[in-house]
């Protein structure tokens, strides 16, 4: 008999806010019987945890109808029938009980009858449609193989307790990005215990032309047992970390051997890498700020000690090694010393002011020359698709290619959010906003939104000036809006390697406190978000207008994320931003630091003088409702709806900017640099279509020689199948 209260779908408690809940689930199925007409008993227990302990639990019994051997369709239908019952129960807890289920943790062993059934996407449905983090864990009691098996209630309780340890303390909608203690490899998706999606959703979101290339290249790398290693600064916070999580997740699904390593951070070094490297190279550092001899010493010692502590044995034994950004450039000669045959790519993600790095009298030149002394021995230099971002000495001495960054259609930033989730995250946001700045957003008024790190190059001061001018224009109307008009949300994450964040955050609040901003100070929410992608994605989805007004920028894929949500965006002409926006079609591009032009656009949109409109296909018509929240609600309400294509219409951004495209580009570069051949030697056989696709991507041919500049890697991937207008490279960065 359970000591807990039975699971109840009603409660007489009157919560002042939506309560978080966590579910554990465990199964046990009776053995097959000789009588095929007699159903087997599938016992499953659901436990409800409130974060302090299990508060309710109940054991259910499901009649699992036996199927004949070989009747895979019947077995799949039965597994799907059970999955639907389980999902309905979770929905009932959320809707009738008024709780928000943040995770569902399933205990192993899961009966084989429920596993690996094509068309039964239980984990993906939990994540994409119910908005819960799905875990699958092995209870610690599994070691007791000679003792009676624990009850389903015990296993379910153990499963939810184990999953809760992975949640970030600042947010129940995010997990901690842990690293392995021995080598600091990032444990993506909690070491595989989180199952957000499957290959099915990635395929559904991708064009057939790209998907075939992705599969062909993954087969080639798997056949050659190719090992890949990434090295970057942090496991969480910022665009590089987001890209790596998605890339590793996808590659693991197709069986590639890949690891991602991060260093143990040090505040002195991260201050150097952000203020004296990153900001200097982007041209946003104050005059006189640059590295000195002591900084060089700390920077190199930090790299040496990370190498000796974590990476000297095993981590650098990969066939292909990729170094992200300047933080770990001093690792390159250490790798070359131990493995002179290693292939290394350097990936630059920032806007390097090459006009300054090419001028010997500048701090930028001195900083870059110091870093280039490490970078000069790599086999390939990769930059964002802006030629201005590549210093002269790189073009003269290294092979250079151009490649856009990417975002993931299935992560918390980009998945659709239904009405229940929108309500939850809006309540959570207002709690944060009131706590941090005393502002409450009235969601009925609409809001302008910029999602970005609190960084001196993100143009946030320009945004405040533009918003003030926009509101002044509304106030000057003969009939100004009674409620004042749309409000403004500025929100971003922090990162452990970014000491600027707090300084910029406080500076913005100081600006709002001046008399100049009296008109709007009660309508501007400047919020430092917890490390939850979901709150950023959900708030962005509901924006009236999004902005990205960077003054210096590498690419800023937040622009693509807004466009993917069908949110109109006003963006600056910085770095790779214009490559994402089709002016007047999915947004507008303005000159850098032009707040008056931004204010005019906001005013014209408000008055209905201009708009962007993207027709939905007939299959996606929503009774006239084509706003982002309505589109998202339709998706999450239909568990059988396939994932929306990332390039769903002509106004969408390129597949180049998404995870499958990104994974395919990296595999192509790896195969070309390693000199892999298109043949059928080895354990994995390749069909004729795959061989033809690989030959079309010049697999087996040398890539580039030193001092040679190539084009956009996307063109190399897609060839004649590339959509017109894609694969462009900007010459200047502004």
Query: pLDDT higher for 418 or 90?
Result: 418
Confidence of residue 142 (pLDDT cuts 50, 70, 90): confident
Position 14 pLDDT exceeds 70 = no
Nearest to 717 by CA among 674, 673, 675, 662: 662
pLDDT at 544: 96
Could you tell me which CATH number the domain at 19-167 has? Answer: 3.30.420
The whole-number average pLDDT for the span 302-314 is 96
The whole-number average pLDDT for the span 179-194 is 96
Least confident of 40-54, 524-538, 608-622, 707-721: 608-622
The whole-number average pLDDT for the span 377-390 is 97
Q: Are 107 and 126 in contact (CB under 8 A)?
A: no
Position 119 pLDDT exceeds 80 = no
**Percentage of the chain modeled with pLDDT above 70:** 95
Least confident of 145-149, 152-156, 411-415, 559-563: 145-149
Confidence of residue 113 (pLDDT cuts 50, 70, 90): confident
Q: What is the pLDDT of residues 143-169, one digit of tens each?
A: 898 999 899 999 999 999 999 999 988
**Would you tell me how many other CB atoms lie within 10 Å of the CB of residue 246?**
26
**Would you tell me how many other CB atoms lie within 10 Å of the CB of residue 137?**
23
Provide the 3-class DSSP secondary structure of residue 632.
helix
Q: Are 655 and 647 in contact (CB under 8 A)?
A: yes
Q: What is the pLDDT of residues 47-78, one digit of tens each?
A: 999 999 999 999 999 999 988 777 888 888 99
Angstrom distances, CA of residue 509 to CA of 93, 437, 488, 503, 522? 40, 8, 13, 10, 11
Provide the 3-class DSSP secondary structure of residue 95.
helix
Cα–Cα distance for residue pair 446/442, rounded to 1 Å:
8
Give ranges for CATH 3.40.50.2000 in the chain: 419-653
Task: For the chain, give the mean pLDDT.
Answer: 92
Position 593 pLDDT exceeds 90 = yes
The predicted model scores a pTM of 0.94
Cα–Cα distance for residue pair 720/530, rounded to 1 Å:
43
The whole-number average pLDDT for the span 240-255 is 96
The whole-number average pLDDT for the span 233-245 is 91
- What lies within 8 Å, CB to CB, of 733 at 6+ separation is 351, 353, 386, 388, 389, 553, 574, 575
Residue 627 in tokens: 């706003």
pLDDT at 185: 97
Give ranges for CATH 3.30.420 in the chain: 19-167
Position 621 pLDDT exceeds 50 = no
Least confident of 88-102, 196-210, 320-334, 468-482: 88-102
Q: Are 433 and 525 in contact (CB under 8 A)?
A: yes
Confidence of residue 16 (pLDDT cuts 50, 70, 90): low
Residue 73 in tokens: 């369709």
Confidence of residue 614 (pLDDT cuts 50, 70, 90): low
> Cis omega before residue 109 (within 30°)?
yes
Position 592 pLDDT exceeds 70 = yes
pLDDT at 70: 77
Position 573 pLDDT exceeds 80 = yes
The whole-number average pLDDT for the span 450-465 is 94
pLDDT at 601: 97
pLDDT at 556: 92
pLDDT at 622: 43
pLDDT at 369: 97
Position 2 pLDDT exceeds 60 = no
pLDDT at 627: 87
Position 617 pLDDT exceeds 50 = no
Provide the 3-class DSSP secondary structure of residue 478.
coil
3-state SS, 155-188, equals HHHHHHHHHHCCEECCEEEEECCCECCCCCEECC
Q: Please report, to the nearest 10 degrees, the dihedral formed by the alpha carbons of residues 504, 506, 509, 511 taken in order.
A: -60
pLDDT at 306: 98
Nearest to 530 by CA among 409, 418, 432: 432
The whole-number average pLDDT for the span 101-116 is 91
Q: What is the pLDDT of residues 671-689, one digit of tens each?
A: 999 999 998 776 777 889 9
Could you tell me which CATH number the domain at 184-189+205-262+311-353+377-404+660-734 has? Answer: 3.40.50
- What lies within 8 Å, CB to CB, of 109 at 6+ separation is 27
Confidence of residue 9 (pLDDT cuts 50, 70, 90): low
Could you tell me which CATH number the domain at 419-653 has? Answer: 3.40.50.2000
Position 206 pLDDT exceeds 60 = yes
pLDDT at 389: 96
Name the phi and psi angles at 5, rounded to 5. -65, 140
Least confident of 10-19, 218-227, 448-457, 547-556: 10-19
Position 462 pLDDT exceeds 70 = yes
Q: What is the pLDDT of residues 688-734, one digit of tens each?
A: 999 999 999 999 999 999 999 999 999 999 999 999 999 999 998 66
pLDDT at 246: 97
Q: Are 372 and 393 in contact (CB under 8 A)?
A: yes
């Amino acid at each position: 008999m359970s000591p807990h209260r039975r699971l109840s779908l009603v409660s007489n408690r009157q919560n002042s806010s939506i309560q978080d809940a966590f579910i554990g689930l465990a199964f046990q199925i009776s053995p097959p019987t000789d009588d095929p007409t007699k159903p087997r008993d599938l016992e499953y227990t659901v436990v409800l945890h409130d974060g302090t302990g299990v508060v309710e639990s109940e054991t259910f019994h499901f009649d699992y109808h036996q199927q004949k051997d070989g009747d895979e369709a019947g077995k799949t239908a039965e597994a799907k029938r059970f999955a639907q019952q389980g999902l309905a129960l979770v929905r009932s807890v959320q809707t009738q009980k008024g709780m928000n289920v943040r995770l569902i943790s399933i205990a192993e062993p899961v009966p084989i009858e429920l596993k690996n059934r094509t068309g039964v996407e239980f984990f993906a449905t939990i994540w994409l449609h119910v908005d819960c983090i799905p875990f699958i864990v092995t209870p610690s009691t599994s070691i007791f193989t000679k003792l009676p098996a624990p009850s389903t209630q015990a296993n379910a309780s153990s499963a939810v307790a184990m999953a809760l340890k992975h949640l970030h303390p600042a947010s129940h909608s995010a997990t901690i990005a842990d690293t392995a203690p021995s080598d600091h490899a990032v444990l993506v998706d909690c070491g595989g215990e989180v199952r957000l999606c499957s290959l099915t959703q990635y395929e559904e979101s991708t064009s057939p032309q790209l998907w075939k290339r992705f599969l062909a290249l993954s087969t080639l790398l798997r056949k050659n047992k190719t090992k890949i290693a990434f090295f970057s600064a942090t496991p969480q916070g910022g665009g590089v970390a987001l890209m790596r999580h998605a890339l590793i997740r996808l590659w693991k699904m197709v069986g590639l051997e890949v690891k991602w390593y991060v260093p143990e951070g040090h505040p002195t070094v991260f201050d150097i890498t952000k203020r004296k490297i990153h900001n200097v190279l982007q041209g946003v550092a104050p005059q006189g700020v640059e590295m000195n001899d002591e900084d060089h010493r700390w920077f190199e010692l930090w790299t040496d000690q990370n190498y000796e502590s974590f990476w000297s044995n095993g981590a650098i034994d990969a066939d292909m090694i990729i170094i992200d950004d300047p933080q770990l450039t001093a690792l390159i000669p250490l790798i070359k010393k131990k493995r002179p045959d290693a292939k290394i790519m350097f990936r630059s993600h920032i806007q390097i002011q090459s006009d300054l790095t090419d001028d010997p009298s500048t701090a930028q030149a001195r900083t870059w020359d110091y870093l280039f002394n490490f970078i000069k021995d790599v086999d390939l230099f990769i930059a964002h698709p802006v030629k201005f971002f590549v210093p002269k000495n790189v073009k003269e001495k290294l092979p250079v290619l151009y490649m856009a960054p990417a975002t993931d259609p299935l992560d918390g930033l980009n998945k659709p959010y239904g009405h229940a989730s929108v309500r939850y995250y809006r309540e959570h946001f207002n709690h944060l906003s009131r706590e941090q700045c005393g502002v409450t957003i009235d969601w009925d008024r609409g809001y302008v939104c910029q999602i970005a790190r609190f960084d001196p190059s993100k143009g946030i001061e320009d945004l405040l000036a533009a918003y003030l001018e926009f509101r002044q224009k509304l106030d000057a109307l003969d009939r100004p809006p009674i409620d004042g008009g749309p409000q403004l949300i500025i929100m971003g994450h922090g990162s452990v390697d970014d000491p600027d964040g707090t300084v910029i955050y406080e500076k913005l609040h100081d600006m709002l406190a001046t008399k100049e901003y009296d008109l709007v100070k009660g309508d501007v929410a400047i919020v430092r978000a917890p490390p939850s992608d979901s709150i950023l994605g959900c708030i962005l989805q509901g924006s009236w207008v999004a902005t990205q007004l960077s003054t210096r920028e590498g690419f800023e894929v937040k622009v693509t994320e807004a466009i993917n949500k069908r949110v109109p965006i006003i963006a600056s002409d910085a770095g790779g931003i214009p490559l994402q926006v089709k002016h007047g079609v999915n947004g507008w591009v303005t000159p850098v630091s032009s707040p008056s032009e931004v204010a005019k656009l906001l005013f014209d949109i408000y008055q209905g003088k201009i708009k962007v409109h993207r027709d939905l296909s007939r299959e996606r018509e929503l009774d006239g409702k084509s706003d982002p929240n309505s589109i998202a609600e339709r998706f999450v309400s239909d568990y059988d709806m396939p994932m929306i294509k990332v390039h769903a219409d002509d106004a969408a951004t390129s597949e180049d900017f998404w995870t499958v495209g990104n994974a395919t580009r990296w595999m192509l570069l790896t195969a070309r640099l390693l000199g892999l051949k298109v043949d059928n030697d080895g354990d994995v056989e390749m069909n004729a279509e795959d061989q033809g696709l690989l030959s079309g991507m010049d697999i087996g041919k040398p890539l580039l020689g030193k001092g040679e500049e190539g084009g956009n890697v996307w063109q190399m991937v897609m060839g004649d199948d590339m959509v017109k207008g894609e694969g462009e490279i900007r010459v200047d960065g502004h």
